[in-house]
Structure 1
């Protein structure tokens, strides 16, 4: 049997509680987008063979899973997107390859089980949740009994957090701009958590207020103005402010220069805005901003994905 797996990517709006005084840490809010995406075609094979695309990223996951399942696989990478730019490619690649094994060899694993095997979702659960069902997602983070420390997903062994709320995201246009600049990952990201956590609890309280009483209602009520206002406020609260600060004036500058609200996804440097008209002209303006400062930039004009990963059989 041959299978094709196509995943969304995700906008990670913010982590929620990196203070932890109430007994939980992390928590996240974000939503799935159609593009960029990961698409692979796979079939049963005696060994691990990966062709096309960025072979190394897929091969490392496939080799690990081959050892876990004692099975081989042949993977043809049809599409992927850069790592460490804030759009969650690591989780989507890991779950796409795990899903291919799962389908080809009829392993009967859930998405959460595949996430645990591949080590995804140890801090934010947004990437795992949008792979499973797309949409706009709020997760509840981790009990400090399970995770008593502040650490990014790639260095956390905690299980993916449970989803507290999931809604279809409105049919707005999402403009994503990715400058040719590497985000914070690995030891740099670990140092970020260790240096700035715990975040002041008052910031966490303000952030929770904005999420509960403005961001979530704006999605449910299809209110683009309120959604944009919530995103704008969130950039200057809690750990999100810390993440944006790491780029100095570059990201703060783009947020301050334009009239429409702009957010940074995860640790960046990808930025996004959500509009109902003029998406192409907005994309051009944001790309020119980065180009004027010496950075090439790629623009995606896309929409939310309210379905999650798709699996096709042949």
Structure 2
């Protein structure tokens, strides 16, 4: 059995102040590329992880993917009281800690395959509880399940009382308060510069501890922008308003902190993309992936992206929104 998952852009966390009794909240977009393609078959014992084109995979991808598959498989097997083993083959992959949500997609993909091969069709939010994903943002879990443009409502303080990233949180995935189809004719250009990968692990935990709570007036400004400009722009296919919202978000709340912790080239890349005509440009999650949204001048933006990473190297991916979740191929 094979599963193909999307990736996602995480536009911003919403409320890292918590005065009203909830924290986190997130906004994101499911995208077609890059994607994850994972195949699984049962074996007598053990958990084996193979790469169909291992020569093209870096050591950090091999190590990270192997560990996450093994961990999530053991968790789902324990939860379902399953014995035996599984062999996994990864046909397509993308780098961990790049801001595209590979950890959640990979963990859910492995768990979904094991559950389906044992005649258990478990929804993504329940799988996420089992494998320990979605403790801060629900964007990756909903991207796996349904795709599209997503807003989640964060966590009540009784469930999650401190500001922590998903990797250090045991909270359940948050409720989805809005999910819309994202305009398919809007083009999305990803720029993944070859710089230090996004803040993760202990550094990510420290970022939350050192910079939270975010000042209330910043959270209020952000939520006003989301409710009265960004979300309506998706429903009305208003690219100019959407792009302006994305640009403003980069300088508000926790996203402002995330940007400050990056290599200076990240800010320059965003500027280059906007100067080339992108309606909006931002950084996904903790980066280093930068994204731009446009409708007509795709090649100009790609050229600007190439110029921006000339000195550091990197990858440019042309993609678009995906308004459906992961796909099983039996």
Q: What is the TM-score normalised by the length of structure 1? A: 0.95
Aligned mates of 1:67, 1:178 — CA distance in 2: 32
Where 1:262 maps in the other structure, the secondary structure is strand
Q: Look up the match of 1:151.
A: 164
Q: 2:49 maps to what in 1?
A: 50
Contact 2:145–2:326 (Cα < 8 Å) also in 1:
yes
Task: Give the superposition deviation at 1:103.
Answer: 1.1
Output the CA distance in 2 between the equivalents of 1:249 and 1:42. 41
Aligned counterpart in structure 1 of residue 143 of structure 2, from 108, 125, 130: 130
The answer to whether the 8 A contact 2:270-2:290 is kept is: no
What residue in structure 1 maps to residue 94 of structure 2? 81
Does the CA-based 8 Å contact 1:58-1:97 persist in structure 2?
no
Name the stretch that deviates more: 44-53 or 204-213: 44-53
Give the number of equivalent residue pairs. 309
**In the aligned structure 2, how far is the partner of 1:66 from the partner of 1:276?**
41
Instruction: Say whether residues 1:305 and 2:322 are aligned partners.
Output: yes
In structure 2, the CA distance between the partners of 1:104 and 1:56, relative to structure 1 (3 Å rule), is farther
Q: What is the rounded CA distance, in whole Å, between the counterparts of 2:178 and 2:239 in structure 1?
A: 19
- CA distance in structure 1 between the partners assigned to 2:281 and 2:26 by the alignment: 18
Per the alignment, in what secondary structure is the counterpart of residue 129 of structure 2? helix
Q: Is the 8 A contact 1:48 1:59 kept in 2?
A: no
Q: Flag structure 1 segments of 5+ consecutive residues without an equivalent.
A: none
Equivalent pair of 1:228/1:274 in contact (CA under 8 Å): yes
Tell me the distance in 2 between the aligned counterparts of 1:281 and 1:18: 36
Q: Contact 1:62 / 1:73 at 8 angstroms: preserved in 2?
A: no
Partner of 1:4: 2
1:12 alignment partner, SS class: strand
**Residue aligning to 1:237:** 252
TM-score by length of 2: 0.91
- C-alpha distance in 2, partners of 1:208/1:86? 22
For the pair 1:30 / 2:47, whether they are aligned, the reply is: no
Listed as ranges, the gaps of 5+ residues in structure 2 are 55-60, 78-82
Deviates more, 1:125-134 or 1:245-254: 245-254
Superposed displacement of residue 122, structure 1: 0.4
Q: Which secondary structure does the structure 2 equivalent of 1:145 belong to?
A: coil
CA distance in 1, matches of 2:14, 2:319: 26
| CA deviation after TM superposition for structure 1 residue 247, in Å | 1.8
Tell whether 2:242 aligns with 1:227.
yes
| 8 Å Cα contact 1:176/1:283 also seen in 2 | no
Q: Which residue of 1 aligns with 2:57?
A: none
**Structure 1 residue 176 corresponds to structure 2 residue 190:** yes
Contact 2:72/2:107 (8 A) holds in 1: no
Residue of structure 2 in register with 1:21 after alignment = 19
Match of 2:312 among 286, 290, 295: 295
Counterparts of 1:88-107 in structure 2 under 5 Å? 88-107=101-120
1:170 and 1:219 in contact (8 A); partners too: yes
- SS of residue paired to 2:30: strand
**Distance of 1:66 and 1:8 partners within structure 2:** 20
Asked whether the equivalents of residues 66 and 72 of structure 1 are also in contact (C-alpha less than 8 Å), the reply is no
Deviation of residue 74 (structure 1)? 1.1
Distance 2:84 2:67 in 1: 15
